[in-house]
Amino acid sequence: MTRLFQYFLLVPALLALMGAASPLADPQVKEFLARERRAETVRMPSKRDLRSSTTRPLARRAESGYQPKHFRPVYDDHTERQMNDFIKRADLGAQIKPNGSEPEPVRGESGAPYLGPHNPPVDLENLDQVAGPPTDAGIVVNLKWSFGASHTRLLRGGWVREQTITDLPPSKDFAAAEIRLGPNSYRELHWHRVAEWGYILGGSGRIVAVDENGKQFAGDLLGPTKDREGDIYVFPVGVPHSIQAFDEGIEILLIFSDGNFDSLGTTFHLSDWLKHTPLEVLGQNFGVEPSNFEKIPSPNPYIFRSTKPPAPFGAAEKAPSDPQGTINDLIFVIADQDKQVAPGGGGYIKTQTAETNFPKSELFASNFVRIEPGGLRELHWNNFDEWIYILSGTGRATAFPGGSAARTFNFFPGDTGVFPVGWGHYIKNDSPDEPLIYLELWKAPKFVEYTATQWLSLMPEQHVADLLNITTDVVRQFKKEKQLILKGN
């Protein structure tokens, strides 16, 4: 029997079906649908289910164990009671102050004092981990790392310690290092597959680099003093460079455009490369007798002392003449930059980006931020991961990753932190008399920021009032311009 003939035999049956009642009335179909409905509450959703909103209503997805994250959470009676207790206690979320005693995991009627081992000095630097505000909720990954917890590698002429993705897993875009060169010491000749950005933490030194066209750069850098900020510099991807300290030495914060900085194939040291190249090849390549390279150090020294002091500060032009010419834009002097006084009156910001004033910094946008005592870096979020480094003072920040979760962190000098892309956050200076000074960096050519106050002030007033259960009179008080940093109360 041919397939075409089979089709002809089906035609009468199909015509009869079209004239009959709905197939859903068929007893066998009814029984099948009933079985499926009973199974809805016991089986996990398939990928097909999750793609189709018609096959599994959201309520049934939740019953099966699937919890959609982008919808309003369901509050049980216990959560409602907690929220009501929070309102009754009028706990505004301020930091718990131990007032000379050891911090305890106690806040109001919640918690209980320690009975087991604990570390009071660590607790004092992490008060919001010991007894955080009731607004904290859920499980939020650690967003803070202190360089004091990094291993320090001691070398002849200095030291180095790092913060990489193994220390701070959310920091995918950035790794960092603090490096100290003793008097006249060198950071040896090297290059990276990533870009390098540096802020001078103290002392002074000289950088020398050569770009892809053979143009040379040599420039001198100063650390901060009472009246000026430290200088910054940048080495684009692949640019070979070196750093030398002057007679007082130098300490530098280094930032790299990849959190996995310790992976193989990130940093390439000249002496290491040449030591693993046949002498015959070296002689031919450099046009000299091969025996000249027999004493290349191994392993590479990383940092080493100079046999002769460098030319004095400001005499970088004494570097060898370059027939290809020179470049002059790898250093940025923050001290020469005008302050952007925050409209909110709580401090100032100085911004450096490739789009505006630091062309070679194509992979780094940065802010130098000063928050006066009690001031607040307003609620905001960014289109790129924000990495911070505390230069002086103390701060407090809460990160909001969505999904009804939040976690508050305390920051001290030498601490680093990261706020992943889109996460809402603020930074508050919790000192009554000392400014908070820190750096903000993004892996981007420009500085992009969205602020909560400006957003809400430019929305329909009633929409905001109804959502937040406030009056439109309150909404009208919101500023329509970004405040950046707000004054202390």
Query: Cα–Cα–Cα angle for 228, 444, 188, nearest 5°?
Result: 65
- List the structure tokens of 14: 């199909």
Q: What is the H or E stretch that residue 482 is in?
A: none
Grouping H, G, I as helix, E, B as strand and the rest as coil, residue 81 is helix
Please, what's the largest Cα pairwise distance for the chain?
103
Q: How far is CA 116 from CA 103, 107, 109, in A?
A: 14, 18, 20
Is 294 marked active-site? no
Q: How many CB atoms lie within 10 A of CB 21?
A: 8
Of residues 229, 355, 440, 481, which has the active-site annotation? 440
Q: How far apart are CA 223 and CA 286, in angstroms?
A: 37
Q: How far apart are CA 376 and CA 450, in angstroms?
A: 15
Q: What is the residue-wise DSSP string for 417-436?
A: EEE-TT-EEEEEE--SSS-E
Q: How far apart are CA 427 and CA 391, in angstroms?
A: 14
- List the structure tokens of 353: 């980006």
Q: How far apart are CA 487 and CA 484, in angstroms?
A: 10
Q: How far apart are CA 165 and CA 260, in angstroms?
A: 5
Backbone phi and psi for residue 436, each to the nearest 5 degrees, phi listed first? -100, 120
Q: How far is CA 339 from the centre of its chain?
A: 24
Q: How far apart are CA 157 and CA 245, in angstroms?
A: 10
Instruction: Looking at 268-411, list the stretches that DSSP marks H as alpha helix, in order from N- to C-terminal side.
Output: 270-275, 279-286
CB distance 311 to 301 below 8 Å: no
Residues known to be catalytic: 440
